Every structure is written in C-alpha cells, then in structure tokens.
Structure 1
Amino acid sequence: MISNKNMLKISQNDVENYNKNGFLVSDSNLSNNLIDKITITYDEFIDKNKHLTLEEMSSPHLYEGTGAKHNKSKDLCNSFLEIGKSDEIVSQVIKILGSDIILWGMHCMHKEPKTGKKIPWHQDGTYWPIEPKATCSVWIAITDVDSSNGCMQFIPKSHKLGVLPHLQEDKVQQDGELKGSLDLKIDESSFDKNTSVNCIIKRGQVSFHDTYLLHSSDANFSDKPRKALVLRYMPSTSLFNRSLPDRVSANGHKYDFSYRPIFLVSGNPKENELKSEKYL
C-alpha cells in the first residue's frame, strides 16, 4: 500500500489559488508507482508512433474512433485508461470539479529535442464540444520541464475573461509556431503578454488548469524530449455535445467527437444521463 506521504495531494489553499488564478502546480509529486507506470506507457506509445504529429497524439486511451492512425494495442490503451481512472489523480480533481466527474480526453504532449515547435496563445475551451464549457486539464510532467524545453506559459486570472477574440491560423503563422496544431490563435492585442508566468515543473509534478486559461508554450531548444501526459476531466453537469460539427485542424486532422467514448470516473452522470450518454 502506498503511503499518503508519497502521492499527489492538493490542499484547500491550492484549490482557492486555482479558482483565483486559473491554474495550480502541485507541491507534491505523484507516487513512484504511478509516475513509473505513466512513463512506461507513454514511452511505448511514442516509440510506436513516431510518425504522428502532435495533434494526432490525442486519445491514446482509445483503441478506435480517434481520427488518427495510431499504432497501439488494446492493452496499451487500457494502461492509459487505468492512469486516467486512478484514484490518486481523480481524488484530487474532485476537489476542483466536485464529485461527479467524466474523463473525456487525453493527449501525449510530446516535443522532440530541437524540433518541437512553439504553440501559440490559446484557450482550450474554444475547441471542445462541452456545454457549459467546464474542464480541468491535468498536465503530468514525465520529464523535468522548463523554459529550455518548452514549458507552458500562463496568463494568471485570464480564465475570468471568457472567450477572447481568435484569429484563423492561416493568417497568423509566424515565429516557428507549430502549423496544424491549432486552427485558431488568440488575438494578442486582447491581453498583456508581459503578465505571463512560466510553468516550471519537475518530473512527477502535476499542473491543473482551467478550460479558459490563456496559455502557450515555446519550442524545445534542448537536447532532450519534453514529455507530458494531459488528462481532460469535466463535471457531469456539463454536456459532451456530440451533435456539434467535428473540428478539423489547419493541416486536415479531424477531431471526431461524435463517437468518442467518455468515462464516468466518479459519482453520477447528471446532465449526460439525460442525453442517454453511454459510458464504457
């Protein structure tokens, strides 16, 4: 049995800071067993899928219906799913979102050394079929991450601004940004970049951020890959709306939400039950 001293735990003060600033970085680390499992699972996926672009590394926990040509086994998908359902993580998300929680997404945020590109300023909620838009993204550092290898940058309190003006990607490509990763970019005249903070995070640490938080990341200038796994959770009081059109990135990758399985990991279905949502 894992000691509570050696596992992820956020405090009430952390939750208050999350609500105030739109993000938090854990002081505690994931347990050794869990971060080791994440590392092994992540590395196997990356080793088998070097042909994928960053946007195609979404949904590694799903065997079918991803819209990407993943090379992965059902056992590997199940390993990712076990991570997303782990009590060590879900018990902390409950403190932010409440007791009724759905795991609806997952993404391997991999940046190769020297070639991993900059990702422009954006708000995640702009891209997702969730109504009302409520998601907590759980960003797990598998390697140490800092300004040299593409750490995230946040604009504190920007989650309180609502949806900001966006520009189409084909009008704004510049500065080595990753073409195709996002088809929209925040109009930078709508916020002050000088207020940004770097999210410097060690292996095994976890950051949590709100669906409306303004964030970006620089290129990986280092000699080592930047490895991170992101888990997406929503309260079941929001609806995963499958009737909305699928998103297609600027390079043609389709995000098919109409058949994507979602997973109740805590509590009751709430709003999604009214829409006859199916859980696996």
Structure 2
Amino acid sequence: MSKVLSNAQIEGFRKDGYIAPLRAISTERAAEVRGRLEAYERSTGGPLSGSLRGKPHLLFTWLNDLIREERIIDAIEDLYGENLLCWSSSFFIKEPADSAFVSWHQDSTYWGLSSPDVVTAWVALSESNKANGALEVVPGTHLKDQIPHRDTFSKNNMLTRGQEVAVEVDPNSAVMLELEPGEMSLHHVRLIHGSAPNPSRTQRRIGLAIRYMPTSVRQLEGEDGASLVRGVDTFRTFEHEPIPARDMDPEFVELHRKQHERAVKILYKGAKIPA
C-alpha cells in the first residue's frame, strides 16, 4: 500500500514521467529554510554560488534535515521501494532579471549511474511560476532511451556542460510545473525538461533539486558518495555520507570539497572544454 501517492499519481509518473504539485513541507518550513539560506548569503556578502550550490546538505544541518523529510521520502518510497539513497542535491537559484536558464536535457546524460531508476524531487523555497522561470517538462519523453546531447558551455546555462538534447523539442508540448513555497515536483531521470530565464524584476526563484534512487543503483564512472535516507543498503557501492552536527563544520567542508572533486570528474568525463 502506498504511503503518500495515489494509484493515479503513481500511474501518471509511469506514463508521463512526472508528478506535480505535491506538498513536501509547510509554507512556514519553506520560509524558514529560505530564511536560513538568505541569512548565510548575507553573512558572506552575496548569493550562494559555485560549488556551494552542489550537495549543500553536507554543509548545512537544515538541508540535511530536508533531504530526509518524511513526506518527501514517503513519496519516493511509493515509486522505488524502501531502501533509498540521496545521491545529490543542488540549488537552482535564479535572481530577478537573471539571464540564467536551463536547456532542454535529460538528467541521466552524464551522471554515470547504472540504471534510470532515479527521481528528482524539486522542492520550491519560493514561488516558481511563469513569471520567474519555472521548470518545464515534456511528458512521456522518459520512455525514450538515453538521447544524445551536445555540449554548449553557454555562459548563462546553469548546467555543468551547458548540455542540450541533440533533437528538436516542440515547446508547445511542454508543461510548466508551477509550485508554491513548500511544494515539490517529482521527475524521472530521463524526462526532458528545462527552464527559461527569470524575467521578474523583484522575485528570486529558489529551488532545491534532490536526487533519490534505490540502493541497487551503482556509479559506473568512479568513486562516489551518497546519503542513506531510508532502509538498508546491502549493495554498499556508494560511500555513505555522515550527517553534519553543525553548519559548515570544517570536517564536512573538507568532505564536501572531496565529493565535489569526484562529481566534477564524473560529470565532465570526455568533455571538450573550450579554452
């Protein structure tokens, strides 16, 4: 028996590759998490950037709590069973009048994982809508195999390699996943998706993408780590990440640096990076 998702939602995920919207946390909790993020940004003098946007759950206790949020994990369990890893988390933040965008792509392209049994929970910490560049998905495209991608290394593309699918995407076939703070969408690792720049003059668009998978999935391209968030891991193909006891603990800052270097090797493998 499912814990959170209805049979119709589970079937919709199988058929269309996504579910949205779902309540992940309360609006009050979303405001609290956003407040903690922005307090840290004020303390450092600018928006969170660079490697700090990747796997921030290793650096901040309140984000490690978020990746383990019971309602989120319950939804993932309904799709992939009770033994679950959080492989990564990433902030996708678009500032007002920001030219940053995410090209049409499949998440699975350069992740090096053995199976497409991976789902992203995209948790909104602000409103995410047409006015500020919300996520868009192309339903049913997860049923295709891995699609070839081309690297653009575009300056304003938020993806590591500026990768985009090497096929035409009809924008009229896309569905925009508008979310309120504290809501989330779930999308399959092979679903084609992307998002436009944020044209708003006043609204930040803040989302945390959390990637979950069953413990049976393996990393094929090198050493890697993940956080066990539910059940047991009898496979042990990922180094288990510990839980931080305080924010920006020096030991965890070093662990984060190590994990970032590993991720870069995997994500950029074979890339021809422009000089």
TM-score bracket, shorter-length normalisation: 0.7 to 0.9
Count residues in correspondence: 238
**Residues in 1 aligned to 2:92 and 2:15: alpha-carbon distance in whole angstroms:** 26
Alpha carbons of structure 1 residues 34 and 202: separation in structure 2 relative to 1, 3 Å: same
> How much has 1:242 moved relative to structure 2?
5.6
Segments of structure 2 that go 5 or more residues without pairing to the other structure are 243-275
Are 2:220 and 1:236 aligned? no
**Residues in 1 aligned to 2:51 and 2:149: alpha-carbon distance in whole angstroms:** 19
**Residues in 2 aligned to 1:220 and 1:167: alpha-carbon distance in whole angstroms:** 24
**Residues in 1 aligned to 2:158 and 2:83: alpha-carbon distance in whole angstroms:** 36
Partner amino acid for 2:227?
A: F
Alpha carbons of structure 1 residues 98 and 276: separation in structure 2 relative to 1, 3 Å: closer
> How much has 1:11 moved relative to structure 2?
2.0
Q: 2:182 aligns with which of 197, 204, 225?
A: 204
Aligned match of 1:34: 29
Tell me the C-alpha RMSD between the 2 structures. 2.5
Partner amino acid for 2:166?
A: D
Aligned match of 1:165: 148
What is the TM-score normalised by the length of structure 1?
A: 0.76
What per-residue deviation string (whole Å, max 9, x for no partner) do you get for residues 161-194 of structure 1? 1211211215xx4xx84276434211233x4333
What is the TM-score normalised by the length of structure 2?
A: 0.77
Alpha carbons of structure 1 residues 212 and 55: separation in structure 2 relative to 1, 3 Å: farther
Aligned match of 1:194: 172
Q: 1:278 aligns with which of 240, 244, 247?
A: 240
Counterparts of residues 1-280 of structure 1 (less than 5 Å): 9-28=4-23, 30-32=25-27, 34-47=29-42, 48=44, 50=46, 52-53=48-49, 57-63=53-59, 77-170=60-153, 173=154, 177-178=156-157, 181-189=160-168, 191-223=169-201, 224-241=203-220, 243=222, 258=223, 261-271=225-235, 273=236, 275=237, 277-280=239-242
**Contact 1:10–1:26 under 8 Å retained in 2:** no
**Does the residue aligned with 2:93 lie in a helix, a strand or coil?**
coil
**Residues in 2 aligned to 1:79 and 1:276: alpha-carbon distance in whole angstroms:** 23
Aligned match of 1:5: none
Following TM superposition, where does structure 1 have runs of at least 4 consecutive aligned residues deviating by more than 6 angstroms? none
Alpha carbons of structure 1 residues 231 and 149: separation in structure 2 relative to 1, 3 Å: same
> How much has 1:80 moved relative to structure 2?
0.9
